[in-house]
Chain A
């Protein structure tokens, strides 16, 4: 008995294949020719990511979206999430090339790990199977643990890597155990089959299923840094190389939230009101803890870490709305992630560009008077801060507006109110930085010469791209929001 070759839609699989192939090539190239120019590898990695982006935009999702029994799912949602993931990887490669402390590290290993992490995120987002969610998550987590400690000479980096690894593996254990319990209760790891079993037979109320669902929420909550599983975030974000921190703050969140969305769309409507309450509490705790803690930070990477926690809280609002069956919520989630990726990457890029060889400028005090010493950089930072705070005419405002109105439409009252109040609180620490940059005299004269390394062009490209995006989505949001709305056709 022989097995026929399965029908595979290579056009749908191509983005992932390009990224994996690129990773292997970059690693091998550096292993064979370690002395060559690193700019070649950077350019190659950027080209791989750009072509994968092109391939995923070119592949129109059709009726044959699910292949290999739902293990790989290429629908509009996948397509948009692929674009988000590839965009964030693109930015972090630009940032890595600009960061001076990363000049000495083996470029092939570093870029290869970034590409592998990207492929893991893509696999996690493009599936209907809990099994692939786990495998994808492990691929990018493993790569990120290593990337966090990539600068081995720095004790902070080692601390970050160890903390991230230990807590991350623990969270992975929760996730896997939860999946096993869900499998035990429903007999499937396929979200579509799980949803069917839940409608036809009673296990949706069984304790094993609910416990499994709870464990999966814990595991995914850790990866998106939702309360109360966010404790690792500030330490890990502070200790990792800034370019890696930027990557961590966007890519894994997109992938984990995408998996979270698919899970909720499948089991949410049938899993009962407990899930509603859990998501509500998680969202409120996450955004409040993030915003309140961010006020007291004196290190800009820690501040941005808490800010990213707060934004995860806003996104959890969309998740709660999706549980109630809102299509608008999925669209506004995608749009929010797009804007968030740009403004967050932009802010981290300013941090990278403000640093010099050997000394990163990570204290918030370091930014005093930046408006006079480096006006263009300060202007960009001000723009990203205003956008993160959600003030018009930036993309951050529009994204929040769509997100909160989606929550209002499905009947949440207090959740959007608390979210708006949180946004008001967040203005204080975002604008504190702006005030510091423009209203204070610069401290001791920064070491001007050599501030910008040979990678300045990469930083410039990233800044221009991010700033243009943030402004564009603030002033002309409709076309992209339409696209995000149309990308919500999930196969279930």
Chain B
């Protein structure tokens, strides 16, 4: 059991505990007088136009997929970057084809208009 995570855990417990505590306190001690306006969805002060339960456009999905692909790419970059000092020139060269292919894929989706919204 690695000890160095204890501070992080403490922080997590404090942050989560504060949130829970606040919620519990308002639940216990607060008075509830709901009106239609108060019960409406809070959209940063802007009056909501429609129900938030509408369907998403499929365009979001494309963005999500592209995000995942590049997210996975960063997963490969991360250990490589941590080990980079040890790897030297080899480490640099070995990343070139990988990054080259992914850069090509980025150019491809750009040219195919996958990054345009309309």
Contact = CB atoms under 8 A, between A and B. Distances in A.
Physical interaction between A and B? yes
Interface of A: 1-5, 24, 27-28, 31-32
A4 B94 CA distance: 12
A3 B88 contact: yes
Contacts of B108: 27-28, 31
Contacts of A28: 104, 107-108, 111
Contact of B112 (A3, A4, A24, A31): A31
Contacts, number: 27
Given A31-B112, A32-B111, A2 B90 contact: yes
Contacts of B90: 2-5
A28 B111 CA distance: 9
Contacts of A4: 90
Interface of B: 86-91, 93, 101, 104, 107-108, 111-112
A28 B106 CA distance: 11
Contact of B104 (A1, A2, A5, A24): A24
Chain B binding surface SS class: helix
A1 B90 CA distance: 11
Contacts of B89: 2
Nearest to A33: B111
A327 B87 CA distance: 43
19 contacts: A1-B86, A2-B86, A2-B87, A3-B86, A3-B87, A3-B88, A3-B91, A4-B90, A5-B90, A5-B93, A24-B101, A24-B104, A27-B108, A28-B104, A28-B107, A28-B108, A31-B107, A31-B111, A31-B112
Contacts of B104: 24, 27-28
A175 to B, nearest CB: 19
A1 B85 CA distance: 9
Given A3-B86, A4-B90, 11 more contacts: A2-B86, A2-B87, A2-B88, A2-B90, A5-B90, A24-B101, A27-B104, A27-B108, A28-B104, A28-B111, A31-B112
Contacts of B101: 24
Contacts of A3: 86-88, 90-91
A5 B96 CA distance: 14
Contacts of B91: 3
A1 B108 CA distance: 38
A188 B88 CA distance: 28
B86, B90, B91, B108: most-surrounded residue (chain A CB, <10 A): B108
A18 to B, nearest CB: 14
Nearest to B90: A3
A32 B112 CA distance: 8
Nearest to A2: B88
Contacts of A1: 86
Nearest to B93: A5
A27 B107 CA distance: 10
A2 B92 CA distance: 11
A87 to B, nearest CB: 26
Nearest to B112: A31
A4 B87 CA distance: 9
Closest 8 CB pairs of A and B: A2-B88, A31-B111, A3-B90, A31-B108, A31-B112, A24-B104, A27-B108, A1-B86
Nearest to A20: B101
A4 B91 CA distance: 10
Contacts of A5: 90, 93
A166 B111 CA distance: 30
B79 to A, nearest CB: 15
A28 B104 CA distance: 8
A445 B91 CA distance: 67
A32 B93 CA distance: 28
Contacts of B107: 28, 31
A79 B91 CA distance: 31
A3 B93 CA distance: 11
Nearest to B101: A24
Nearest to B86: A1
A32 B108 CA distance: 8
Contacts of B93: 5
B101 to A, nearest CB: 7
A2 B86 CA distance: 6
B89 to A, nearest CB: 7
A5 B94 CA distance: 9
A1 B89 CA distance: 11
